[in-house]
Structure 1
Amino acid sequence: MKQTKQPAASEMRSVEQTIGKILRWGVVVAAIIMILGLLLYLINGSLGVATNYHVKNFHEILFGILNGKPYAIMMAGIFALILTPVLRVVVSIYSFYREHDSLYVVITSLVLVILLTSFWLGIEFHL
């Protein structure tokens, strides 16, 4: 009986470490992207958009990045920061699935649906 608990505990520790790495790297990548946007802003002296302008969709961010606009690059950094905990939820669903813990798979999947719905509603009502 101890042999079955030991691998499960080490596997849980491994999943927790993976989730920790995802969160750390997500923040680091987002910070690097935002710093690049800030440096580009300081070099250009302009954000690359009109005053009081707000991006309305991801296509505008992508188009702005391709054109080297600092505002779009900083928005991509914020987008990466927002996606970091979402990726954590996805990894949690996978780890609960591997542990055959159906209750937590359902609960965590519901959390993911709520997150994605809130993003969708935020986009719809922002336009």
Structure 2
Amino acid sequence: MNAKKQEMQHVELVIGRVLQVGVYISALVILLGIGLWLFKNGSGYSGALPTRITPIFHGVLAFKPYAVLMFGIFLLILTPVLRVIVSIYAFAKEGDRLYVVITTIVLVILIIGMAIGYRG
């Protein structure tokens, strides 16, 4: 087996590992949030629940159950985005410019969609 093929197999394994680790970590964070919710008997907020990233991060630091749950969901959403980034690297290493361009466009669309969702 040549070196380039071995490297591509390694990159494919890395892509798979990124997805696995991302799902496992987000699931653990979500389970932690559920456990905190049950232990603290509520969301940790008396009024409106935070929907923006900064207040959610502050809530995570204060171990507020709702914020921890939302952070777990954020990590779950971030997982395929990281996969796209690793794919761009893999296609670049492979020398496949067309797929680098296409995958970069997909990444830009994901970022624009997240930005619109954040503002909306």
| TM-score bracket for the superposition, by shorter chain length | over 0.9
Q: What is the aligned residue count?
A: 120
Aligned-residue offset at 1:54: 4.4
Match for residue 123 of structure 1? Answer: 118
Runs of 4+, deviation exceeding 6 Å: none
Of all paired residues, the percent bearing the same amino acid is: 45
Alignment of 1:1-127 (within 5 A): 6-50=2-46, 53-125=48-120
| CA distance in structure 2 between the partners assigned to 1:16 and 1:40 by the alignment | 36
Aligned-residue offset at 1:8: 2.3
Structure with bigger gyration radius: 1
Unaligned runs of 5+ in 2: none
TM-score normalised by structure 1 residue count: 0.88
| CA distance in structure 1 between the partners assigned to 2:59 and 2:109 by the alignment | 29
TM-score normalised by structure 2 residue count: 0.93
Unaligned runs of 5+ in 1: none
C-alpha RMSD of the superposition: 1.4
Aligned-residue offset at 1:9: 2.1
